[in-house]
Structure 1
Amino acid sequence: MRRLLAALAGLAGFVLLWEGYKLVGNPEGTVLFGTRVLPRADDLSMPHLLDVARRLGRPELAGGDPVWQVVLRACVFTLGITAAGFALGAVVGLLLAVAMQRFRIVERGLLPYVILSQTVPLVALAPLVAGWSGNLSLGPWPWRDWMTVSVIAAYLAFFPVAVGMLRGLQSTSAAGVELMRSYAAGWWRTLVLLRLPAALPYLFPALRLAGAAAVVGAVVGEISTGTRGGIGRLVIEYSREATSDPAKVYTAMLGAALLGLLVAAAVSLLERPLMRHRRHVEVATL
């Protein structure tokens, strides 16, 4: 209940901040030393939140479906791409973390490049991935555009999982490792029985970050590769009407934001039973 109340309080604070700035802000924006530090407060740049909510209920085009239905379909399409990219990125991150924990030389040689990989601009990387994957195929199945977007989403998702899982695997106490050795437990049994349970508190925050990153990667990938049907493409299409229908642009942005929250909430639902089981095991051990 406290989390729900905190979420509602945060939402109310955002509404008050948005509408309050529109009330007292400068329509031309706040300029400091020749640089605009705060956005314009006019209706074109910052429409009223009530206008955005009303725009969701009106047709996208004359005689067409309501905007909320179009945004919902786009979010479902992007959610499928995000799920594929998130799963791929999580698996790659877990395998890298296990390999780096097992072999010190792998950690020293690979971890700097894992960190360096996140400095590459995603907008520049997406066309390269699309070009590389253009001639690929999965056996009898040709390579699809959504697969390229999933790879881009996985590229952002694997990093927090790899780093967080590596820290979790290395968080086990020396006494616990020595105890497993005294039982003649090999590396695999020590990994399954000791290191993986100890890494759970580090893994799930990393998975939440990876889920949000996968959404960002999917949206940017859809925009960069021109993949139709997703929320990223919808943002581009609606932004062309920003001067005539500014509230419409924010409906697509709202859908993308809610999609990220949905992915993070799904990870939290998975975390709750596993972490509860872990606490029960710890209490029983004590």
Structure 2
Amino acid sequence: MEFRVLQYFLAIAREETISGAAEHLHMTQPTLSRQMKELEDELGKQLFIRGNRKITLTEDGMFLRNRAEEIVNLVEKTESDIMRSDISISGDVYIGGGETKGMRLIAKVIQKCQQEYPDIKFHLYSGNAQDVADRIEKGLLDFGIFVEPADVSKYDFLKLPDKDIWGLLMRKDSPLASLKTITADHLKNIPLICSHQKLVRNEISGWMNSDFNQLNIVATYNLIYNASLVVEEGNIYALTLDKLINTTGESPLCFRPLEPQLEVGLTLAWKKYQIFSRAAEQFLKTLRRELEKDA
């Protein structure tokens, strides 16, 4: 399977027509059709459903699209890192992480790097721990920020000084909004939205000292923003970290911490034996300097 053929395939998936893809690629339709037929023959799979007006992907085609995008992005990232000038530090740094106020430290480091090395470009990816770990393994991220609990044993990592606090997000007119803190008993008879991550559920179970499945979980979330919209609309509560959703001013929402307090740490991780680009190396150096200042 040739790299250029994957690029042709992605063009068709994006344009949804052979003619549109051929025009974009500056090649003839028959040539492009033949390349795709040879690709399907090579893989022994049908990749396209050819309709009257547009082309759609089969299940195998959608799988290949996801992998092809990862391959193309990784190749482009590698070429960019290698071709950067040896004179000045430039390049791209890819950082992924879940929603956490600890990103403010990363934002501060990014700003400092930009001031000193304006040719460094940063790319931020939001996702849960599994999403970020997958992208690190595939070489699509240089660094990942993990909210505890997270298994970082297979990575090199730095502990970040910020701490996040678990609590309950709710409407300001909810019955529990009059409380200063939320106990395990308060959670047992209310409709809850919770992260779908197993490690998070285990953490909450340990805090409750009882089975998490006893709770009335009516929905799960990957990232909290969309879940907060559900909370706004009705008498539903979300277990989440503090400072992720604006609860000040005219916001209809408020946050109450758990009691006893459930505090979690943050970790910046990367592949063991990672060979960094000069840009990524400079980001890590700047972060270490910031951490030393706060030590």
- Bin the TM-score by the shorter chain: under 0.3
Using structure 2 for the length normalisation, give the TM-score: 0.23
Greater share of residues in strand? 2
Using structure 1 for the length normalisation, give the TM-score: 0.23
Greater share of residues in helix? 1
